């Protein structure tokens, strides 16, 4: 379906289409579509734009990725469907490895995601070869499997659209966790070290641009970043928007 650019919800409908294509191509599962719906609702509440608060988190994230010894980008079906090119670009801009890591694991889906990433220029994709599988302690079943050459060895992990249990397990495992999560109240948002409250579709290109700029101009002086305070600001934005909507 072609959506006219003038449609008031053109951007969010375009994002939905990407998810639906990802579902048809075997990258996304039904649960992924539902998780997206949850995200859409919060996107509406934050005003469907990248706030100053999110820009601050993006700056902190870019700095953390660039100063990491071993950064890894964890990729699930939704992320691969929404921004495959940006995953590869961010990996190139930061030297981060790419690892496919699924909540609902399936070899077929892993391969479909890896193929999409390859089509978008990725060379090395971790998380596919069972020879390198390792377990994260304190996490149940298939969800604890990570790649020895990737997340298992990483110091900084970018886990966009992640489930809370996994984020908590990664934290307990000593990782510095960065996430994209539209819900500032989710367990992932509240547990991560740096939470970018923004749609990955909007935030990933800004994160890539920021990494490139910092690499070109130097990191400069480190500014303080407090994730809890930053999340609080996003919650205040939601409260203000709700008040404005109910007064309209």
190 binds Mg ion (CB under 5 A): no
Using CA atoms, how far residue 56 sits from 50, 108, 128, 205, 231, in Å, is: 10, 38, 34, 15, 11
Over the window 141 to 180, marking each residue x when it contacts Mg ion by CB under 5 A and - when it does not, the resulting string is ----------------------xx----------------
Q: How far is the CB of 183 from ligand ATP (least distance, A)?
A: 4
Tell me which residues touch ligand ATP (CB under 6 A).
Answer: 35-36, 38-39, 42, 82, 161, 163-164, 180-183, 186-188, 199-200
Q: Is 189 left (phi over 0), alpha (psi -120 to 50) or beta?
A: alpha
Q: Which is nearer to ligand ATP, 34 or 245 (CB)?
A: 34
**Could you tell me the smallest distance in angstroms from the CB atom of residue 163 to Mg ion?**
4
- Compare residues 164 and 205 and give the one whose CB is closer to Mg ion: 164
> Could you tell me how many residues of this chain bind Mg ion (CB under 5 A)?
2
Nearer to ligand ATP, 149 or 227 (CB): 227
At residue 203's C-alpha, the angle toward residues 1 and 116, to 5°, is 55
119 binding partner (options ligand ATP, Mg ion, none; Cβ < 5 to 8 Å by kind): none
Choose between 50 and 179: whose C-beta lies nearer to Mg ion: 179
Contact, 142 vs 105, CB < 8 A?
A: yes
Residue nearest to ligand ATP as judged by C-beta position: 39
Alpha-carbon span 58 to 237, nearest angstrom:
17
* CA-to-CA dists, residue 60 to 19, 174, 207, 219, 241, angstroms: 28, 19, 10, 11, 25
C-alpha dihedral (131, 134, 139, 143), degrees to nearest 10? -30
Decide which of Mg ion, ligand ATP, none touches 188; Cβ closer than 5 to 8 Å per partner kind.
ligand ATP
- Residue 94 binds which entry of ligand ATP, Mg ion, none, CB below 5-8 Å type-dependent: none
Which pairs from 173-180 meet CB under 8 Å and 24+ separation? 173/136, 173/137, 173/138, 175/151, 176/64, 176/68, 178/61, 178/64, 178/65, 180/204
> Are the C-beta atoms of residues 131 and 156 closer than 8 Å to each other?
no
**Smallest Cα–Cα separation from 122: which of 88, 158, 84, 96?**
88
**Min dist. Cβ of residue 39 to Mg ion (A):** 12
Residue of closest CB approach to Mg ion: 163
Nearer to Mg ion, 62 or 169 (CB): 169
Backbone angles phi, psi at 25, to 5 degrees: -85, 0
Q: Which is nearer to Mg ion, 65 or 180 (CB)?
A: 180
Q: Which is nearer to ligand ATP, 56 or 149 (CB)?
A: 56
Residue 157 binds what, of Mg ion, ligand ATP, none (CB under 5 to 8 Å, by partner type)? none
Which spans of this chain sit near Mg ion (rule: CB under 5 A)?
Answer: 163-164
């Amino acid at each position: 379906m072609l959506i006219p650019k003038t449609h008031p919800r053109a951007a969010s409908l375009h994002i939905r289409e990407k998810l639906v294509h990802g579902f048809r191509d075997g990258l996304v599962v039904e649960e992924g579509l539902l998780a997206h719906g949850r995200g859409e609702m919060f996107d509406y509440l934050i005003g469907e734009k990248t706030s100053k608060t999110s820009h601050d988190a993006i700056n902190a994230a870019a700095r953390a990725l660039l100063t990491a010894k071993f950064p890894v980008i964890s990729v699930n079906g939704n992320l691969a469907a929404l921004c495959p090119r940006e995953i590869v670009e961010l990996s190139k801009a930061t030297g981060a490895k790419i690892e496919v890591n699924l909540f609902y694991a399936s070899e077929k889906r892993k391969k479909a995601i890896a193929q999409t990433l390859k089509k978008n220029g990725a060379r090395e994709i971790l998380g596919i070869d069972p020879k390198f599988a390792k377990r994260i302690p304190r996490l149940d079943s298939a969800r604890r499997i990570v790649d020895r050459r990737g997340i298992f060895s990483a110091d900084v992990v970018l886990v966009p659209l992640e489930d809370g249990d996994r984020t908590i397990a990664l934290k307990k495992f000593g990782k510095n966790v960065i996430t994209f999560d539209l819900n500032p109240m989710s367990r992932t948002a509240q547990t991560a070290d740096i939470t970018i409250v923004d749609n990955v579709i909007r935030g990933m290109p800004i994160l890539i641009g920021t990494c490139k700029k910092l690499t070109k101009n130097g990191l400069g002086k480190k500014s303080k970043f407090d994730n809890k305070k930053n999340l609080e600001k996003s919650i205040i934005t939601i409260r203000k928007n709700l008040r404005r909507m109910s007064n309209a």
